[in-house]
């Protein structure tokens, strides 16, 4: 009888241990996903806050990408001007990618086809943007205006979770409309 009770106690202990290990693994996965997602959102927030005056941005809802010209980041050798940074979701691998290339107008300064690309996040199943145009108060799912929007909204789907981040563009259109701000 004592042996039976001992086997039952050990069975319960092993079941509790197995459950706690599964919970620990799930918590580690959640923390990792949260850290990676927070890093991507933080990167875009800093990127929008520090856009130089001469930079522009454009995106189309169906393409799951956003393009910045004359950005403050340059990975390729040379100056910052005429750089095109494109953030896009690779639908085949579900990765969020960053590609930097030299604008067509500055191909003389670099070898034709010069670009660099790397992965920002994995398991991304959705990547979309909205812009708020304060000139008419509308949200737009496409942006090709030479003036930057005042606010951007990022929609990111990663590992089954949907994340929305509202980003302010300080040098975008002023709240009253008109031309770009200071």
- Provide the domain count of the chain: 1
User: Domain range for residue 83?
Assistant: 2-168
The model's pLDDT over 61-111, given as tens digits with 9 standing for 90+, comes to 888 999 988 776 666 666 555 678 889 999 999 999 988 887 655 444 545
Q: Name the band, by pLDDT with cuts 50, 70 and 90, for residue 178.
A: low
Q: Which residues, in sequence order, are CB contacts of 62 under 8 Å at separation 6+?
A: none
Residue 56 lies in a domain: yes
The model's pLDDT over 18-55, given as tens digits with 9 standing for 90+, comes to 888 888 888 887 777 778 788 888 888 888 888 877 78
Residue 181 lies in a domain: no
Residue 177 lies in a domain: no
Residue 15 lies in a domain: yes
The model's pLDDT over 98-153, given as tens digits with 9 standing for 90+, comes to 888 876 554 445 455 577 888 888 889 999 999 988 778 888 999 988 888 889 99
Residue 174 lies in a domain: no
Report whether 70 contacts 81 (CB < 8 A): yes
Residue 41 lies in a domain: yes
Buried b (16+ CB within 10 A) or exposed e, 156-168: bbbbeeebebebe
DSSP string over 132-147? EETTTTEEES-B--SS
Residue 141 lies in a domain: yes
């Amino acid at each position: 009888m004592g042996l039976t009770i001992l086997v039952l106690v050990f069975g319960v202990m092993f079941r509790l241990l197995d459950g706690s290990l599964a919970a620990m693994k799930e918590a580690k996965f959640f923390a990792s996903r949260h850290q990676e997602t927070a890093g991507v959102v933080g990167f875009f927030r800093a990127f929008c806050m520090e856009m130089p005056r001469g930079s522009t941005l454009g995106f189309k809802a169906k393409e799951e990408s956003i393009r910045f010209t004359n950005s403050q980041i340059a990975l390729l050798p040379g100056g910052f001007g005429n750089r095109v940074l494109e953030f896009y979701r690779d639908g085949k691998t579900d990765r969020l990618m960053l590609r930097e290339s030299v604008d067509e107008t500055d191909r003389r300064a670099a070898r034709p086809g010069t670009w660099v690309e790397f992965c920002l996040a994995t398991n991304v199943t959705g990547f979309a943007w909205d812009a708020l145009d304060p000139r008419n108060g509308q949200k737009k799912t496409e942006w090709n205006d030479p003036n930057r929007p005042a606010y951007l909204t990022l929609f990111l789907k990663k590992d089954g979770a949907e994340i929305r981040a509202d980003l302010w563009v300080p040098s975008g259109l002023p709240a009253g409309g008109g031309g770009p701000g200071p």
